Structure 1
Amino acid sequence: MNRKEILVKTLRHEAVDQVPWVPFAGVHAGLLKNYTAKEVLQDGEKLFQSLMEVNQLYKPFGQPVVFDLQVEAECLGCGLAWAEDTPPSVMSHPLEDDDEIHVPCDCTIPSKETGRIPMILDVMRRMKEAVGENTALYGLICGPFTLAAHLRGNNIFMDMYDDEDAVADFLGYCSRVAARMAEYYVEAGMDVIAVVDPLISQISEDHFEQFMHEPFSGLFAHIRELGAFSSFFVCGDATRNIEAMCRTAPDSISIDENVDLLEAKKITDRYNITVGGNIPLTTIMLHGTQQDNMKFVLDLLDNMGDTRNFILAPGCDMPYHVPVENVIGIAQAVLEPDKVREMLKNYVAQEDDIDIVLPDYEHLEKPLMEVFTLDSATCAACTYMMGAAIEAKKTFGDSLDMVEYKFTEKESIARCKKMGVTNLPSLYINGELKFRSLVPSRQELEQAVKEAMSK
């Protein structure tokens, strides 16, 4: 069997002797050819060259063509802020200022000629011809809930309480956008359609069942009818929703480091769903050594034991600056585990010694709001948690201090360890955890700040 056949068997829940590996090299692919994130997401030729380099260097069993959750949002009128080393972020929400949520007309669903879609489809076809026999190709689409947030902004979280029927209709529209994108991508040769919805980790299981079960169930059934495999891709601490996600019947679920993979696999195994993940993006891939990355992979596989229904992958889109040798080390550990075990038998990981001094929370002149994120410029769940914090800062002005700590920075990792921050994104006020993997409504956050001010 070639690498693609092994991945396909895994997605069919068949036994294989080799764990498949899928490097989610989105903008990181550009690093391999010295192209910026902006260049690979806007220039088809540069994207194709970069993807071919990923294929040659990292020996993937499957790989995404584009990892950009803003493609559909841009087509539908969202303004984007572009960066050199991250995907773009949504900066304006066309339906944010509407007093009430309303459903756009289906005539606004992007066509194959809208925005960057023609470029993406062309690269998909080229990749299919170049590597499609040996590598499964992933088409990534923005999930309905995250697309709803891109269009409506943070108001979508309050809408879920104020106008339940309108939210259900709005998510129905967003799922129709996703279904159309899936059709385009399957037609262009994609083997797996990954529905990437980071904000699923930011809602309760009750809200998932109420609002998300029907759109996602219908979407995965549609992908199956198209003849492709499906993946439910979620970021953040989605632990509480793993079982509910399984009930929507995707072929696979992808999770990040916020979720205990071994515990999640117990759930996905009960539903005979393949699970993918969850190499830590920053502590291991970005800031670790090649040996750290190799050791993480071997330890994970050893602890898992039964690797049926498992795909090894980064927890999400790899940071642009991940050292190339680290990813090559992961591929080597997957393909030649015995050889790598021998190489690592005397290896001891080095601890970073960064001294972090925490604020004197009991004697602050005014409340301090600390937002711990992977990076609000790249992580959608973090973007909307940070968005809530920014709105609170606007409301309280100089009477409230606010700071973001990005987990992409070593000092922030050390701060998280010292404070005991276990999940991202999380929001603390005066050193106390107030919201963890749940984006607060405006009223909830303002009330928490007022309580801190009254103490």
Structure 2
Amino acid sequence: MAEYTPKERLARVLNGESVDRMPAICPTQTGTVEQMEAVDAFWPEAHEDAEKMAKLAEAGHTVIGFEAVRVPFDITAEAEFFGCEIKPSTKEQQPSVVGHVIKTAEDIENLKGYSLDKGRIGVVCDAIKILADKYGDELPVMGSMIGPFSLAQHLNGDEWFTKIFTDEEFGLKLLEFTTEFNIAYAKKMVENGADTMVLIDPTASYELIGAQFYEKFVVPYHAKIVDAMQEMGVTITLHICGNTTNGLPLMDASGFNAISIDQKVDVATAKSKVENAVLIGNVDPVNTLWNKTPDEVRTVCQNIIDAGIDLLAPGCGIVSKTPTENLQAMVEVAKGHKY
């Protein structure tokens, strides 16, 4: 079988085509303190400065060995862009959303007419261009963004879960707004050089809202984003945190090339529930990657491959204190697996 560049290899796997071996990638956040120290690019500056963001993303490849470069490292830039209050990042901890900006349908209207060149949204797009200019011919350049359901929750606050039950018109209007934003943002990342996308929608969980509401408030909006990316020839992966086992058929229904599964999901069971998407995961980022030895990491990773995972990767975002040698052990197992 022919050998492929990392970019070709990942694209073929995500499109269901044969390759020589498993790619070594991470669809969730990749930054760690040891990488920051290795390349002198630290949070919080690497969240806010395009050069430093690109430099830390590059460390995932040059220090860890991932066969892709990926930005950003958090899922708050979109909410901050629309004016939500953000708890700042530290060197070890990502920023978080602590204040919200939408209560009424009028508030949604007031947020329209935005420019994607501003704020950290613009920084992410600039970082993608830096990475694409340097690595775009060889490596996949992964753009990532929060999904429309979780962005709606960031904008509306904890009221969001009640709203979709009590005010369907408002809920659908807000989702139309966030989905339109997602599509515009994703297109700008692609225009700047991203060739594969990751949609992280942590609160769009079957566990939290059930089948009926997932089908109404999540599936059609995810499908719109997938369609927009497919029109641009770009593959797209979905990640939802937690035990998504029962929701996997509905997640698959939106048409994603791949679904990234949490460590709480049994791989063999997931394989039986997903007909179309490639399955990515699901090494425990805390109990395994952060807290075990490299040899123990290798054993866990091999067990996940033996269970049938298509692409080995962390089950959620990498913990900032994760040792480099443990991530390298995971990469080693992935690269050593022949399909």
TM-score by length of 1: 0.69
Partner of 2:281: 277
* Greater length-normalized contact order (CA 8 Å, ≥ 6 residues apart): 2
- From 127, 137, 146, the counterpart of 2:141: 137
Secondary structure at the counterpart of residue 139 of structure 1: strand
- From 38, 57, 69, the counterpart of 1:51: 57
Secondary structure at the counterpart of residue 230 of structure 1: strand
Q: Distance in 1 between matches of 2:13 and 2:105?
A: 41
* CA-CA distance at 1:54 after TM superposition: 1.7
1:336 and 2:336 aligned = yes
The answer (yes or no) to whether the contact 1:138–1:192 under 8 Å persists in 2 is yes
Q: Kindly provide the CA deviation profile for residues 32-70 of structure 1, in whole angstroms up to 9, marking residues without a partner as x.
A: 435432121112222222222221122223332213211
Counterpart code for 2:125: L
Structure 1 residue runs without a partner (length 5+) = 339-455
1:12 and 2:18 aligned = no
Partner of 1:254: 260
Q: Kindly provide the CA deviation profile for residues 162-190 of structure 1, in whole angstroms up to 9, marking residues without a partner as x.
A: 11122111111111111111111010111
Q: Distance in 2 between matches of 1:67 and 1:110?
A: 23
* CA-CA distance at 1:240 after TM superposition: 2.0
Q: Distance in 2 between matches of 1:51 and 1:287?
A: 23
Partner of 1:80: 86
Q: Distance in 2 between matches of 1:110 and 1:54?
A: 32
* CA-CA distance at 1:102 after TM superposition: 5.1
Counterpart code for 2:282: N
Partner of 1:94: 101
Q: Distance in 1 between matches of 2:140 and 2:217?
A: 31
* CA-CA distance at 1:334 after TM superposition: 2.0
Q: Distance in 1 between matches of 2:11 and 2:51?
A: 28
Q: Distance in 2 between matches of 1:160 and 1:130?
A: 44
Structure 1 outlier segments of 4+, above 6 Å = none
Partner of 1:428: none
1:163 and 2:170 aligned = no
Alignment of structure 1 residues 185-264 onto 2, 5 Å: 185-201=189-205, 202-264=208-270
Q: Distance in 1 between matches of 2:326 and 2:113?
A: 40
Counterpart code for 1:55: H
Secondary structure at the counterpart of residue 218 of structure 2: helix
Partner of 1:411: none
Partner of 1:128: 132
Partner of 1:151: 155
1:320 and 2:291 aligned = no
Counterpart code for 1:7: L
The answer (yes or no) to whether the contact 1:106–1:173 under 8 Å persists in 2 is no
Q: Kindly provide the CA deviation profile for residues 415-443 of structure 1, in whole angstroms up to 9, marking residues without a partner as x.
A: xxxxxxxxxxxxxxxxxxxxxxxxxxxxx
Distance 1:303 1:162, change over 3 A: closer
TM-score by length of 2: 0.91
- From 74, 77, 83, the counterpart of 1:71: 77
* CA-CA distance at 1:257 after TM superposition: 0.6
Q: Distance in 1 between matches of 2:281 and 2:107?
A: 35
Distance 1:51 1:260, change over 3 A: same
Counterpart code for 2:171: V
Q: Distance in 1 between matches of 2:255 and 2:138?
A: 27
Alignment of structure 1 residues 249-398 onto 2, 5 Å: 249-268=255-274, 270=275, 272-304=276-308, 310-336=310-336
Q: How many residues align?
A: 329
Secondary structure at the counterpart of residue 237 of structure 1: coil
Distance 1:337 1:104, change over 3 A: closer
Q: Distance in 2 between matches of 1:32 and 1:200?
A: 35
1:108 and 2:112 aligned = yes
Distance 1:250 1:336, change over 3 A: closer
- From 64, 67, 73, the counterpart of 1:61: 67
Q: Percent identity?
A: 25
Q: Kindly provide the CA deviation profile for residues 196-242 of structure 1, in whole angstroms up to 9, marking residues without a partner as x.
A: 10002222111101211211111111111122111111111222211
Compare 33-42 and 194-203 and name the one that shifted more.
Answer: 33-42
The answer (yes or no) to whether the contact 1:250–1:273 under 8 Å persists in 2 is yes
